[in-house]
């Protein structure tokens, strides 16, 4: 018999005090609803531990009495992993576990409590004269525990890697309340299974990350940024290879955008004028980070060669910070502008980089067959093979009726992704949104291994039940 709310709340109050528990339905609103408002379930309570010992106490109790716990950090996840799936669950928010444990700029790492926001992590790194290079639009709210829990990506994965690659070690409270003390700063450690890598990206199903040691990098001296007109995704891919060959790891962003996204931004007043002098079917935003002591001007030389090679037909290189910001806005507004254009069906997918043009061509064609008039808006991290393959409703269509056909569009796109050897979730994870899909697409042996790990580390199924594995 699951415990009732009348049993759960007093038990939590005993562990965390009155101020450590939220239980009124109205007060829990900000915790049970996620950014896109797609998943709606009440929780029995929200636990707000202030210390790692309090997280342990809650988990020991939950494991003993069989109460399900949903780890939550900044609540910006896009697949519903951080909100309840069933109404008998308790959210454990790590938002009050904030702080700096250590910063070692010379050695290139810092250790932060998991409730620290990503923006705060950037500020802490900056104060030490360094950089933590994980940038996502939700960084003001997203917290280190959630960023690691979901293995977030962002716009500089190309050069620095995703959250997993930026993390050296974690501390985590496991389902039974025991603590995994893996906060090492070792760059090399071959002593068996990599438990840090297992916990990062586990979406709160294996343990609750309470602190992490993160890599720091020297701050670049300058950024050189351009928006370039290219004829097609194929030309963009060729340009990427050329830029990468010239700039190597200093090529920190290579983002693809279709003309339709620029048209939407002009139409909805998010952009005053065309960003380059001539219209183009496709654009890429390219950024090179110039290291301290490095030579400036590498981007304009590369762009000149690209013009000569016929890969680029027009473009603009930012000369001021505000011009750089305007170019980035054009990229970052791509998602929001789609909601102003009506309903949209979205896919966060990846394929081998060389297959991106084929993904876009075949995926667009397949979706247009499924829903005539549907408007493809594929954009994103071409350099990572990660495209946000979104589709806007046909002009003048009824948004609700359009969304009723979403499954046919998903099937069409995911079939192409699978055929190209890609992933159905590149950045955002599985959560509760894609559990059915995971079962269909994941290698059966991989699924068996994942289930074995889950039952070994959380035999009673206390942490985030039903998420990821279904
Ligand atoms: C506007 C916007 C832009 C975004 N852009 C990007 C992007 O560019 N790239 C990208 O990858 N994502 C992006 N996201 C998705 C989201 O912001 C990231 O996944 C983020 O890392 C989640 O962090 P969070 O603190 O909000 O975690 P939450 O949403 O609270 O949780 C996310 C997952 O992690 C688990 N979790 C939470 N805390 C812990 C913990 N302490 N230990 C273990 N597991 C935990 C949760 O159970 C859940 O499964 C975006 C979201 C929004 C709203």
Q: Which of 378, 255, 382, 268 lies closest to 327 in space, CA to CA?
A: 255
Mean predicted confidence (pLDDT) in 65-75: 98
Mean predicted confidence (pLDDT) in 166-172: 98
Residue identified by tokens 């309903």 is 343
Domain extent listing, the chain: 5-93, 100-218, 222-335, 344-438
Share of residues in the chain with pLDDT > 90 (%): 96
**For 112-141, what is each residue's pLDDT tens digit?**
999 999 999 999 999 999 999 999 989 999
Share of residues in the chain with pLDDT > 70 (%): 100
Confirm or reject: Cβ of 203 under 6 Å from ligand 1.
yes
- At 190, list the tokens: 């071959």
For the CA atoms of 164, 59, 138, 421, the dihedral, rounded to the nearest 10 degrees, stands at: 40
Class of domain 344-438: alpha beta
The Å distance, Cα 272 to ligand 1 centre, comes to: 32
pLDDT at 295: 87
The Å distance, Cα 433 to ligand 1 centre, comes to: 14
- At 404, list the tokens: 């009723």
H-helix segments, 25-132: 29-32, 52-65, 118-127
Confirm or reject: Cβ of 297 under 6 Å from ligand 1.
no
- Could you say which of 2.40.420.20, 2.40.50.140, 3.50.50.60, 3.30.70.2190 is the CATH number of the domain covering 222-335? 3.30.70.2190
H-helix segments, 150-219: 157-160, 195-199
Confirm or reject: Cβ of 146 under 6 Å from ligand 1.
yes
The distance from CA 102 to its chain's CA centroid, rounded to whole angstroms, is 26
Confirm or reject: Cβ of 209 under 6 Å from ligand 1.
yes
Confirm or reject: Cβ of 72 under 6 Å from ligand 1.
yes
**For 324-339, what is each residue's pLDDT tens digit?**
999 999 999 999 999 9
Tally of helices (H runs) and strands (E runs) in the chain: 17, 19
Confirm or reject: Cβ of 380 under 6 Å from ligand 1.
no
Confirm or reject: Cβ of 78 under 6 Å from ligand 1.
yes
Q: Give the ligand 1 atom nearest the CA of 431.
A: 49
Instruction: Name the percent of the chain in helix, strand, coil, to the closest 5.
Output: 40, 20, 40
Cα separation, 54 vs 259, whole angstroms: 52
- At 420, list the tokens: 């190209």
- Among 38, 90, 118, 136, name the best residue to mutate to test ligand 1's pocket (greatest count of ligand atoms within 8 A of Cβ): 136
- Among 37, 82, 139, name the best residue to mutate to test ligand 1's pocket (greatest count of ligand atoms within 8 A of Cβ): 82
Confirm or reject: Cβ of 413 under 6 Å from ligand 1.
no
Q: Do domains 222-335 and 344-438 have the same CATH topology?
A: yes
> Hey, whose CA ends up nearest to atom 21 of ligand 1?
147
The Å distance, Cα 304 to ligand 1 centre, comes to: 39
For residue 101, what pLDDT band results from cuts at 50, 70 and 90?
very high
- Three-state secondary structure call for residue 397: coil
> Hey, whose CA ends up nearest to atom 12 of ligand 1?
152
Confirm or reject: Cβ of 153 under 6 Å from ligand 1.
yes
Confirm or reject: Cβ of 302 under 6 Å from ligand 1.
no
Confirm or reject: Cβ of 8 under 6 Å from ligand 1.
no
pLDDT at 37: 86
**For 170-223, what is each residue's pLDDT tens digit?**
999 999 999 999 999 999 999 999 999 999 999 999 999 999 999 999 999 999
The Å distance, Cα 382 to ligand 1 centre, comes to: 22
Please, which residues have CB within 8 angstroms of residue 224's CB and are 6 or more apart in sequence?
A: 287, 288, 290, 296, 297, 298, 299, 300, 317, 318
Residue identified by tokens 């009050």 is 96
Cα separation, 148 vs 201, whole angstroms: 6
Q: Give the ligand 1 atom nearest the CA of 162.
A: 11
Q: At what angle do helices 5-16 and 52-65 cross, to 10 degrees?
A: 150
- At 382, list the tokens: 């071409």
pLDDT at 154: 85
- Could you say which of 3.40.1280.10, 3.30.465.10, 2.102.10.10, 3.30.470.10 is the CATH number of the domain covering 100-218? 3.30.465.10
Confirm or reject: Cβ of 465 under 6 Å from ligand 1.
no
Please, which residues have CB within 8 angstroms of residue 337's CB and are 6 or more apart in sequence?
A: 261, 264, 265, 268, 270
Residue 245, judged by CB atoms within 10 A of its CB (0-12, 13-18, 19+), counts as: exposed
Length of the chain (residues): 470
Please, which residues have CB within 8 angstroms of residue 406's CB and are 6 or more apart in sequence?
A: 345
What residues are paired with 46 via a beta bridge?
22, 91
Confirm or reject: Cβ of 114 under 6 Å from ligand 1.
yes
Cα separation, 428 vs 346, whole angstroms: 12
- The third-level CATH classification (topology) of the domain covering 5-93 is 3.30.43
- Three-state secondary structure call for residue 401: helix
């Amino acid at each position: 018999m699951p415990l009732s709310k009348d049993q759960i709340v007093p038990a939590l109050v005993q562990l965390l005090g009155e101020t450590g528990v939220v239980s009124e339905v109205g007060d829990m609103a900000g915790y049970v609803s996620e950014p896109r408002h797609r998943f709606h379930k009440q929780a029995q309570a929200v636990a707000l531990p202030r210390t790692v010992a309090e997280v342990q106490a809650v988990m020991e109790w939950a494991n003993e009495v069989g109460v399900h716990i949903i780890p939550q950090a900044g609540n910006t996840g896009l697949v519903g992993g951080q909100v309840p799936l069933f109404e008998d669950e308790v959210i454990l928010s790590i938002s009050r576990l904030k702080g700096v444990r250590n910063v070692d700029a010379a050695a290139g790492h810092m250790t932060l409590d998991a409730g620290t926001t990503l923006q705060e992590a950037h500020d802490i790194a900056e104060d030490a004269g360094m950089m933590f290079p994980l940038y996502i639009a939700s960084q003001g709210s997203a917290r280190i525990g959630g960023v690691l829990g979901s293995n977030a990506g962002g716009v500089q994965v190309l050069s620095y890697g995703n959250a997993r690659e930026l993390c050296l070690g974690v501390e985590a409270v496991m389902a039974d309340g025991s603590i995994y003390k893996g906060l090492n700063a070792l760059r090399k450690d071959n002593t068996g299974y990599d438990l840090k890598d297992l916990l990062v990206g586990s979406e709160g199903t294996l343990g609750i990350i309470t602190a992490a040691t993160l890599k720091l990098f020297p701050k670049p001296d300058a950024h050189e940024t351009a928006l370039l007109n290219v004829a097609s995704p194929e030309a963009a891919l060729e340009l990427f290879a050329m830029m990468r060959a010239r700039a190597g790891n200093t090529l920190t962003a290579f983002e693809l955008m279709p003309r339709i996204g620029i048209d939407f931004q002009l139409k909805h007043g998010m952009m005053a004028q065309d960003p380059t002098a001539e219209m183009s079917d496709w654009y890429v935003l390219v950024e090179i980070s110039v290291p301290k002591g490095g030579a400036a001007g590498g981007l304009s030389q590369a762009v000149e060669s690209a013009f000569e090679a016929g890969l680029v037909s027009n473009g603009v290189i930012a000369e001021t910070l505000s011009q750089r910001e305007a170019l980035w806005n054009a990229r970052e507004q791509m998602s929001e502008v789609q909601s102003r254009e009506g309903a949209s069906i979205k896919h966060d997918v990846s394929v081998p980089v060389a297959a991106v043009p084929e993904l876009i061509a075949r995926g667009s064609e397949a979706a247009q067959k499924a829903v005539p008039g549907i408007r493809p808006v594929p954009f994103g991290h071409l350099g990572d093979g990660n495209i946000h393959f979104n589709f806007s409703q046909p002009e003048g269509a009824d948004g609700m009726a359009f969304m009723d056909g979403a499954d046919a569009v998903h099937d069409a796109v995911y079939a192409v992704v699978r055929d190209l050897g890609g992933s159905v979730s590149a950045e955002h994870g599985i959560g509760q949104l894609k559990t059915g899909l995971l079962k269909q697409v994941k290698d059966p042996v991989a699924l068996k291994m994942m289930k074995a790990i889950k039952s070994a580390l959380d035999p009673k199924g206390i942490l985030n039940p039903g998420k990821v594995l279904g």
